[in-house]
Amino acid sequence: MAAFVDQTGKTVFLSGIPQRIISLVPSQTELLADFGLDEEVTGITRFCIHPDKWFRSKKRIGGTKQIRPDLIQQLQPDLIIANKEENVKEQVDALAALFPVWVTDVNTVDDAYRMIHDLGMITGKTDAAAIIAAKIRQTFTSLSISPVRPRVAYLIWKSPYMTIGHDTFIHSMLDVAGYENVFADRLRYPEVSVDELRASGCDHVFLSSEPYPFSQKHIDELQPLLPGVKIMLVNGEMFSWYGSRLLYSASYFLSIRSGEGSRR
């Protein structure tokens, strides 16, 4: 019996390399695919849209916050991969009473590297994990950061508007991308008013494609209220997915900085 400590400090015991894996986390589902675990992963959520082949063929066991325990029981997993923020604690605890559950907690880019390494170790894919992490680090070296950083308000929700504080993965990614989060003095995902956006002195407002699906009409609503501020639609996956999607983040950030970025 092998023992592994997850990112929440909990010890998970496994009898061997997992052969029936369920992933409850979209960004980590994509990572498992890039590890080459096509046969081993048997269940995913309806939000696990990458890779498309898996989205169309793997058993879907509900959403990230609305898990179907009956479907999970049918699959009899020998490992479930969850996340502290993306999944509901009570649901994860209930599953942990029946199956080995590995819970990640990713708030910084360094946490993401550790998660990739640990998940590679637990699934018997240490070499694949090392290669992916090294490639991500290499792509990030292309981001030469100016000492003067554009000030950004990153919005994830509407009615009310919600932004991101300094203890989030998105904040860490903004820092890597060369931006200053104007709400870095706040925690997690605080509400923010238009008046606060105006008073923040932000140069840009980024409207994320997820979890709220911002579109051009939301730019049109905000722009008259924030004259002189550049408002952009951005691809939320590039800022909030902490698996192998990070391989594409650096080039996306460069496209934003050159004024060519979009939500797609």
Give the pLDDT confidence score for residue 17 in this predicted structure: 96
The rounded radius of gyration (Å) of the Cα atoms in the chain is 19
Span 24-71, pLDDT tens digits:
999 999 999 999 999 999 999 999 999 999 999 999 999 999 999 999
- Per-residue pLDDT of 88-120, as tens digits, reads 999 999 999 999 999 999 999 999 999 999 999
pLDDT of residue 251 exceeding 70, the answer is yes
Token pair listed for 79: 């490992």
The pLDDT value recorded for residue 79 is 98
For residue range 130-166, list pLDDT tens digits in order: 999 999 999 999 887 778 899 999 999 999 999 999 9
pTM as predicted: 0.92
Domains of the chain: 2-139 (3.40.50.1980), 151-257 (3.40.50.1980)
